[in-house]
Protein backbone atom coordinates (compact mmCIF):
# COMPACT_ATOMS: atom_id res chain seq x y z
CA UNK A 1 0.00 0.00 0.00
CA UNK A 2 2.82 2.35 0.94
CA UNK A 3 4.56 1.55 -2.38
CA UNK A 4 1.37 2.28 -4.38
CA UNK A 5 0.89 5.61 -2.55
CA UNK A 6 4.50 6.59 -3.28
CA UNK A 7 4.03 5.80 -6.99
CA UNK A 8 0.80 7.81 -7.05
CA UNK A 9 2.45 10.87 -5.46
CA UNK A 10 5.37 10.59 -7.87
CA UNK A 11 2.93 10.47 -10.80
CA UNK A 12 1.09 13.58 -9.53
CA UNK A 13 4.41 15.42 -9.10
CA UNK A 14 5.46 14.55 -12.66
CA UNK A 15 2.13 15.69 -14.09
CA UNK A 16 2.37 19.00 -12.19
CA UNK A 17 5.96 19.52 -13.39
CA UNK A 18 4.91 18.94 -17.00
CA UNK A 19 2.04 21.41 -16.61
CA UNK A 20 4.36 24.05 -15.13
CA UNK A 21 6.85 23.60 -17.99
CA UNK A 22 4.16 23.37 -20.67
CA UNK A 23 4.35 25.83 -23.56
CA UNK A 24 1.69 28.53 -23.09
CA UNK A 25 2.58 31.10 -25.76
CA UNK A 26 4.54 30.96 -29.00
CA UNK A 27 6.09 34.23 -30.24
CA UNK A 28 7.60 33.63 -33.65
CA UNK A 29 10.31 31.03 -33.02
CA UNK A 30 10.34 31.61 -29.25
CA UNK A 31 8.18 30.21 -26.47
CA UNK A 32 6.73 31.25 -23.12
CA UNK A 33 5.99 28.49 -20.60
CA UNK A 34 3.45 28.33 -17.79
CA UNK A 35 6.41 28.54 -15.40
CA UNK A 36 7.49 31.84 -17.04
CA UNK A 37 3.97 33.21 -16.60
CA UNK A 38 3.72 32.13 -12.97
CA UNK A 39 7.11 33.66 -12.21
CA UNK A 40 6.16 36.96 -13.89
CA UNK A 41 2.88 37.09 -11.94
CA UNK A 42 4.79 36.62 -8.70
CA UNK A 43 7.62 39.08 -9.35
CA UNK A 44 5.53 41.83 -11.01
CA UNK A 45 2.39 41.32 -8.86
CA UNK A 46 0.11 41.22 -11.91
CA UNK A 47 -2.72 39.03 -13.20
CA UNK A 48 -2.13 36.08 -15.53
CA UNK A 49 -3.41 38.07 -18.51
CA UNK A 50 -1.09 40.99 -17.71
CA UNK A 51 1.87 38.62 -17.21
CA UNK A 52 1.27 37.08 -20.65
CA UNK A 53 1.22 40.53 -22.28
CA UNK A 54 4.42 41.53 -20.45
CA UNK A 55 6.22 38.37 -21.57
CA UNK A 56 5.05 38.74 -25.18
CA UNK A 57 6.36 42.31 -25.15
CA UNK A 58 9.70 41.11 -23.75
CA UNK A 59 10.02 38.51 -26.51
CA UNK A 60 9.23 41.14 -29.15
CA UNK A 61 11.86 43.45 -27.65
CA UNK A 62 14.45 40.65 -27.65
CA UNK A 63 13.65 40.00 -31.30
CA UNK A 64 14.19 43.68 -32.17
CA UNK A 65 17.36 43.99 -30.06
CA UNK A 66 18.91 41.01 -31.86
CA UNK A 67 17.73 42.24 -35.27
CA UNK A 68 19.25 45.70 -34.72
CA UNK A 69 22.50 44.37 -33.17
CA UNK A 70 22.10 46.44 -30.01
CA UNK A 71 24.68 45.73 -27.30
CA UNK A 72 25.49 46.83 -23.74
CA UNK A 73 29.01 46.67 -22.31
CA UNK A 74 30.04 45.57 -18.81
CA UNK A 75 31.18 49.15 -18.13
CA UNK A 76 27.70 50.45 -18.91
CA UNK A 77 26.16 47.91 -16.53
CA UNK A 78 28.60 48.82 -13.76
CA UNK A 79 28.02 52.56 -14.29
CA UNK A 80 24.28 51.99 -13.87
CA UNK A 81 24.83 49.97 -10.68
CA UNK A 82 27.00 52.76 -9.31
CA UNK A 83 24.33 55.33 -10.24
CA UNK A 84 21.58 53.32 -8.52
CA UNK A 85 23.70 52.81 -5.41
CA UNK A 86 24.46 56.54 -5.24
CA UNK A 87 20.79 57.48 -5.77
CA UNK A 88 19.89 55.26 -2.81
CA UNK A 89 22.74 56.63 -0.67
CA UNK A 90 24.56 53.29 -0.51
CA UNK A 91 27.95 51.86 -1.26
CA UNK A 92 27.96 49.33 -4.10
CA UNK A 93 28.52 46.39 -1.74
CA UNK A 94 25.62 47.55 0.47
CA UNK A 95 23.44 47.96 -2.63
CA UNK A 96 24.17 44.36 -3.63
CA UNK A 97 23.23 43.21 -0.11
CA UNK A 98 19.94 45.12 -0.11
CA UNK A 99 18.94 43.80 -3.54
CA UNK A 100 19.73 40.24 -2.44
CA UNK A 101 17.75 40.66 0.79
CA UNK A 102 14.72 42.30 -0.85
CA UNK A 103 14.52 40.57 -4.26
CA UNK A 104 16.62 37.43 -3.81
CA UNK A 105 18.93 38.41 -6.69
CA UNK A 106 22.65 37.75 -6.45
CA UNK A 107 25.13 40.12 -8.14
CA UNK A 108 25.22 38.08 -11.37
CA UNK A 109 21.43 38.04 -11.66
CA UNK A 110 21.24 41.76 -10.86
CA UNK A 111 23.78 42.59 -13.57
CA UNK A 112 21.84 40.53 -16.10
CA UNK A 113 18.59 42.27 -15.14
CA UNK A 114 20.19 45.70 -15.49
CA UNK A 115 21.78 44.70 -18.80
CA UNK A 116 18.37 43.72 -20.19
CA UNK A 117 16.87 47.01 -19.03
CA UNK A 118 19.67 49.02 -20.65
CA UNK A 119 19.24 47.05 -23.89
CA UNK A 120 15.53 47.90 -23.85
CA UNK A 121 16.27 51.58 -23.21
CA UNK A 122 18.64 51.69 -26.19
CA UNK A 123 16.00 50.02 -28.33
CA UNK A 124 13.33 52.50 -27.20
CA UNK A 125 15.56 55.44 -28.12
CA UNK A 126 16.19 54.03 -31.60
CA UNK A 127 12.50 53.44 -32.24
CA UNK A 128 11.31 56.76 -30.81
CA UNK A 129 14.02 58.72 -32.63
CA UNK A 130 12.34 57.96 -35.96
CA UNK A 131 9.02 59.62 -35.08
CA UNK A 132 9.54 61.75 -31.99
CA UNK A 133 9.43 65.46 -32.81
CA UNK A 134 10.05 68.37 -30.48
CA UNK A 135 6.69 69.95 -29.57
CA UNK A 136 5.99 73.59 -30.42
CA UNK A 137 5.45 76.21 -27.72
CA UNK A 138 1.71 76.21 -28.42
CA UNK A 139 1.59 72.43 -27.99
CA UNK A 140 3.49 72.71 -24.70
CA UNK A 141 1.14 75.42 -23.42
CA UNK A 142 -1.83 73.23 -24.32
CA UNK A 143 -0.27 70.25 -22.50
CA UNK A 144 0.37 72.46 -19.46
CA UNK A 145 -3.27 73.65 -19.39
CA UNK A 146 -4.51 70.06 -19.49
CA UNK A 147 -2.09 68.78 -16.82
CA UNK A 148 -1.70 71.72 -14.43
CA UNK A 149 -2.14 69.52 -11.36
CA UNK A 150 1.06 67.66 -12.27
CA UNK A 151 3.17 70.78 -11.95
CA UNK A 152 2.24 72.12 -8.49
CA UNK A 153 5.30 72.40 -6.26
CA UNK A 154 6.45 73.51 -2.77
CA UNK A 155 6.95 77.27 -2.67
CA UNK A 156 10.19 76.92 -0.69
CA UNK A 157 12.49 74.41 1.02
CA UNK A 158 14.33 74.65 4.34
CA UNK A 159 17.52 72.69 3.72
CA UNK A 160 20.99 71.98 5.03
CA UNK A 161 23.54 71.80 2.24
CA UNK A 162 26.51 69.46 2.73
CA UNK A 163 29.54 69.84 0.43
CA UNK A 164 32.59 67.54 0.37
CA UNK A 165 35.57 66.86 -1.91
CA UNK A 166 34.49 63.25 -2.49
CA UNK A 167 31.25 61.35 -3.02
CA UNK A 168 32.39 58.62 -0.60
CA UNK A 169 32.81 61.12 2.23
CA UNK A 170 29.28 62.47 1.76
CA UNK A 171 27.93 58.94 1.60
CA UNK A 172 29.24 58.35 5.12
CA UNK A 173 27.37 61.46 6.28
CA UNK A 174 24.15 60.36 4.58
CA UNK A 175 24.34 56.87 6.08
CA UNK A 176 25.24 58.21 9.52
CA UNK A 177 24.05 61.82 10.17
CA UNK A 178 26.18 61.91 13.35
CA UNK A 179 29.33 61.38 11.29
CA UNK A 180 31.70 64.39 11.43
CA UNK A 181 34.51 65.39 9.11
CA UNK A 182 36.26 68.74 8.89
CA UNK A 183 36.25 68.27 5.12
CA UNK A 184 32.46 68.42 4.97
CA UNK A 185 31.07 71.96 4.82
CA UNK A 186 27.45 72.61 5.81
CA UNK A 187 25.09 75.52 5.48
CA UNK A 188 21.40 75.79 6.48
CA UNK A 189 19.13 78.06 4.47
CA UNK A 190 15.65 78.58 3.01
CA UNK A 191 15.53 78.47 -0.78
CA UNK A 192 12.61 79.60 -2.93
CA UNK A 193 11.51 77.18 -5.64
CA UNK A 194 11.35 79.86 -8.35
CA UNK A 195 14.93 80.96 -7.62
CA UNK A 196 16.42 77.50 -8.18
CA UNK A 197 17.74 75.96 -11.42
CA UNK A 198 15.04 73.60 -12.68
CA UNK A 199 17.02 70.33 -12.17
CA UNK A 200 17.76 71.27 -8.54
CA UNK A 201 14.16 72.36 -7.94
CA UNK A 202 12.96 68.98 -9.20
CA UNK A 203 15.55 67.14 -7.08
CA UNK A 204 14.30 68.87 -3.92
CA UNK A 205 10.64 68.41 -4.90
CA UNK A 206 11.20 64.66 -5.24
CA UNK A 207 12.79 64.41 -1.77
CA UNK A 208 10.69 63.91 1.37
CA UNK A 209 11.06 65.95 4.53
CA UNK A 210 13.68 64.46 6.84
CA UNK A 211 15.64 62.88 3.96
CA UNK A 212 18.78 63.53 1.95
CA UNK A 213 18.74 64.14 -1.79
CA UNK A 214 20.87 62.17 -4.20
CA UNK A 215 24.56 63.14 -4.08
CA UNK A 216 25.39 65.31 -7.10
CA UNK A 217 28.42 67.27 -8.40
CA UNK A 218 28.37 70.98 -7.56
CA UNK A 219 30.23 72.10 -10.70
CA UNK A 220 33.36 73.06 -8.73
CA UNK A 221 35.01 69.65 -8.52
CA UNK A 222 33.14 68.85 -5.30
CA UNK A 223 29.99 66.93 -4.37
CA UNK A 224 26.89 68.04 -2.50
CA UNK A 225 23.70 66.71 -0.96
CA UNK A 226 20.71 68.52 0.56
CA UNK A 227 18.96 67.48 3.76
CA UNK A 228 15.35 68.62 3.38
CA UNK A 229 14.14 69.85 6.77
CA UNK A 230 10.83 71.34 5.61
CA UNK A 231 8.87 71.83 2.40
CA UNK A 232 6.71 74.91 1.98
CA UNK A 233 3.00 74.89 1.00
CA UNK A 234 2.17 73.89 -2.55
CA UNK A 235 1.69 76.59 -5.16
CA UNK A 236 0.74 76.68 -8.81
CA UNK A 237 3.55 76.81 -11.30
CA UNK A 238 4.04 79.43 -13.98
CA UNK A 239 4.36 77.93 -17.46
CA UNK A 240 7.69 79.60 -18.25
CA UNK A 241 9.03 78.49 -14.89
CA UNK A 242 8.36 74.80 -15.53
CA UNK A 243 8.57 74.78 -19.32
CA UNK A 244 11.41 72.24 -19.32
CA UNK A 245 9.40 69.87 -17.09
CA UNK A 246 6.35 70.29 -19.31
CA UNK A 247 8.43 69.46 -22.39
CA UNK A 248 9.88 66.36 -20.73
CA UNK A 249 6.43 65.16 -19.66
CA UNK A 250 4.91 65.78 -23.10
CA UNK A 251 7.82 64.04 -24.84
CA UNK A 252 7.61 61.06 -22.47
CA UNK A 253 3.88 60.69 -23.12
CA UNK A 254 4.44 60.81 -26.86
CA UNK A 255 7.34 58.35 -26.57
CA UNK A 256 5.10 55.82 -24.78
CA UNK A 257 2.46 56.21 -27.52
CA UNK A 258 5.05 55.64 -30.27
CA UNK A 259 6.47 52.54 -28.56
CA UNK A 260 3.04 51.03 -27.84
CA UNK A 261 2.01 51.58 -31.46
CA UNK A 262 5.28 50.12 -32.77
CA UNK A 263 5.08 46.93 -30.72
CA UNK A 264 1.36 46.50 -31.43
CA UNK A 265 2.16 46.48 -35.15
CA UNK A 266 5.16 44.19 -34.59
CA UNK A 267 2.94 41.77 -32.65
CA UNK A 268 0.52 41.69 -35.59
CA UNK A 269 3.34 40.99 -38.05
CA UNK A 270 4.90 38.17 -36.00
CA UNK A 271 3.04 34.90 -35.47
CA UNK A 272 1.92 35.04 -31.81
CA UNK A 273 -0.13 32.09 -30.58
CA UNK A 274 -1.61 31.79 -27.08
CA UNK A 275 -2.00 28.06 -26.46
CA UNK A 276 -2.99 28.21 -22.78
CA UNK A 277 -4.67 31.23 -21.25
How much is the pLDDT for 21?
Answer: 65
Low-confidence spans in the chain with pLDDT less than 70: 1-21, 276-277
Nearest to 185 by CA among 163, 166, 218: 163
Residue 216 class from Cβ within 10 Å (0-12 exposed, 13-18 middle, 19+ buried)? Answer: middle
Helices (H), 132-276: 137-146, 167-175, 198-205, 243-269
CA separation for the pair 90, 220 (Å, rounded): 23
What pLDDT, on the 0 to 100 scale, is given for residue 19?
Answer: 46
Q: Which CATH architecture has domain 153-235?
A: Roll (3.10)
Residues of the chain with CATH 3.10.50.40: 153-235
User: For residue 33, what are the contacts with CB-CB under 8 A and spacing of at least 6?
Assistant: 20, 21, 22, 23, 24
Query: What is the pTM (predicted TM-score) of this model?
Result: 0.68
The pLDDT tens digits of the residues spanning 127-138 come to 998 788 889 999
Amino acid sequence: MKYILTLFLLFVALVQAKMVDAVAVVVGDDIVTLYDITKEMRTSHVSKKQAIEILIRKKLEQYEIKKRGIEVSEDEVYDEIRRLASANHMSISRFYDVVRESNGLDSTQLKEQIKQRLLSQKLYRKIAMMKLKEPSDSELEEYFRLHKEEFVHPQFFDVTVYVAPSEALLLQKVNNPMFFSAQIKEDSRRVAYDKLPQPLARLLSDTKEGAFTQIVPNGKGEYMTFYVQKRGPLGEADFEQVKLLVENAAMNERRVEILDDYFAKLKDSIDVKILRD
